[in-house]
Amino acid sequence: MGRHYIDCREVPSDSNCTLALSADTEDELESAAAQHAVAVHGHQDTPELRAEIRKAMHAGNPPA
């Protein structure tokens, strides 16, 4: 099983967030990304948000 990541740089935002998160499992990454989206970007933790997070996940490690 490989790593998975999500990169805020791929999503335009007012804050110009440059955070990239990675984890060994999609479930762990989903949880961390949802927490970040709520705390930093002001989103509500909804099933729709988590579905969008899943769609934005990539296999491997984030680029430098």
What is the helix, strand, coil percentage profile of the chain, to 5? Answer: 45, 15, 40
| 10-23 pLDDT, tens digit each | 987 788 899 999 99
pLDDT band at 6 (very low <50, low <70, confident <90, very high): very high
Flag whether 50 is in a domain.
yes
d(CA 52, CA 64): 23
Tally of domains within the chain = 1
pTM score, whole prediction: 0.90
Flag whether 14 is in a domain.
yes
| 35-61 pLDDT, tens digit each | 999 999 999 999 999 999 999 999 999
Query: Which amino acid makes up residue 37?
Result: A
Flag whether 64 is in a domain.
no
Instruction: Give me the domain span that covers residue 21.
Output: 4-59
Flag whether 55 is in a domain.
yes
pLDDT band at 1 (very low <50, low <70, confident <90, very high): low
Flag whether 33 is in a domain.
yes
